[in-house]
Homo-oligomer: A and B are copies of this chain.
Amino acid sequence: MHLEGLTLSFAVCILYQRQELFRTRTHLKSKIITQGRNGTVEPRFASRMGILRASDIREILKVTQNPEIISFAGGLPAPELFPASAIAERAAEVLASQGTVALQYSPTEGFFALRQIIAERMNTIWHTQLMPEEILVTTGSQQGLDLTGKLFLDEGDVVLCESPTYLGAIMAFNVFKPHWVEVATDDEGMEPEALEDALRTHERIKLIYTVPNFQNPTGRTWSDQRRERLVQLAAKYEVPVIEDNPYGEVCFEGTLPRAIQAMDSRGLVICLGTFSKIFCPGLRLGWVAANRRYLDKYVILKQAGDLHTSTVDQMIAASYMKTHDLENDIQHKRDVYRKRRDAMLSALEAEMPRGVSFTRPKGGLFLWVELPTSLDARQLLIRSLEQHVAFVPGEAFFPTSGRKNTLRLNYSNMPEARIIEGVRRLAVAVRKELEVGRPAQAPVSV
């Protein structure tokens, strides 16, 4: 927001400089006290602050508040699909009939009627067998990640994840200083041999973290076979699985994927859910669905973290779901997002030069682009912003192995014509980068 008014290329330079600056500062802060030149003392932060920095995405989003920019960088649902007037009606009803409850403190676990609705929906849609008492309402599923980190991770504990993985999980878990192990991942999910190899060779493995459906950032979905193998391996090695499932219901083709939690008879799979993609994100309503041996501990940590999630938002959501057909809303979102995905795929096919490949997600909000290995997506972003197009360089989604020739595109947040124009401009930027990056003619030997 404070970047407004700067030219775009300058803004991007600042982004880079800030990151460098941060690394330098972090180094300084690792000493106990650092006396500055003007006599002020550098704050002594916790050691975790050395590895945390502002999300690339958030920083890029600030640049892209310029309405001239076609931004594929965010992950925003289409706001024109929010049922604002129906929510206003529900707010009025809840506040009129139960205002003293809706505006008061409420149980940490969540508003019971909403926990019931969540359990019933999951059991219907995902074939789980959850009781309402196995649901904790969270302040968005991002809080589910924070609580997961708190519950399981001591410094140096190992988290196995897909490669690449969700940036918000990297940020949330890094607060607890884990050791990340990226498991080789292809279009069907983690490769089982690589997963078992990791489980066998690493000590202190606390979690297997996965976004199995229409993953952020790649749009990939796990095959059933891989899911079953994951559950077997988790049971064999007694490692809890975090099934982070924000996009599963945003499915464009065929039947829904199978829930990993529903395959698990050992209670080892902890599911994180959210209303952000199927209802609206501004209410910050997510949930943890887990066996009580886990859930009761999540509740203690939630209580220490923010006491409880907004009572009124929970009651509005519960009231909406009792009086409206959420499944119908979701079907509408699927139709809209499918068209936008199709527009993006067609444009990529038509515009991108050879050597650029991309995923073809069957749901969700994102697809993933691989550039020729000679290109760096951060450099491409600078050129792309000159064309007034933004995206997120893929490097940030790899907790350890940062692959520079990748990028994430979001297609949920704008009409098809704008998507097509944005991809056209992005392709111009890619071609320009390819030209610059072309190796100079070999010098004549002398």
Contacts and interface: CB of A to CB of B under 8 A. Distances in A.
Given A88-B95, A142-B307, A153 B46 contact: yes
Interface string A24-53: 000000000100000001011111110011
B300 A52 contact: yes
A175 interface: yes
B45 A151 contact: yes
Interface in A127-159: 133, 138-140, 142-143, 146, 150-154, 157
A357 to B, nearest CB: 29
A102 B76 contact: no
Interface bracket on A:
35 or more
Contacts of A47: 154
A1 interface: yes
B99 A84 contact: yes
Contact of A300 (B44, B53, B106): B53
25 contacts: A1-B107, A45-B152, A45-B297, A46-B206, A49-B151, A49-B297, A52-B300, A54-B299, A55-B303, A74-B105, A82-B100, A82-B103, A82-B104, A85-B99, A88-B91, A103-B282, A105-B281, A143-B305, A146-B304, A168-B307, A172-B304, A174-B304, A282-B312, A283-B312, A284-B308
Given A44-B206, A52-B300, A305-B305, 4 more contacts: A52-B304, A146-B306, A282-B312, A284-B307
Contact of A306 (B44, B142, B157, B206): B142
Contacts of A44: 152, 206
B240 A146 contact: no
Given A45-B151, A306-B284, A103 B84 contact: yes
Contacts of A100: 79-80, 82, 84
A282 B92 CA distance: 15
Given A143-B305, A300-B53, A306-B140, A95 B102 contact: no
A294 interface: yes
A104 B133 contact: no
Contacts of A49: 151, 297
A92 B87 CA distance: 9
Given A103-B84, A151-B45, A310 B307 contact: no
B87 A99 contact: yes
Contact of A304 (B133, B175, B276): B175
A438 interface: no
A200 interface: no
A301 interface: yes
A282 B106 contact: yes
A253 to B, nearest CB: 26
A99 to B, nearest CB: 3
Interface string A353-387: 00000000000000000000000000000000000
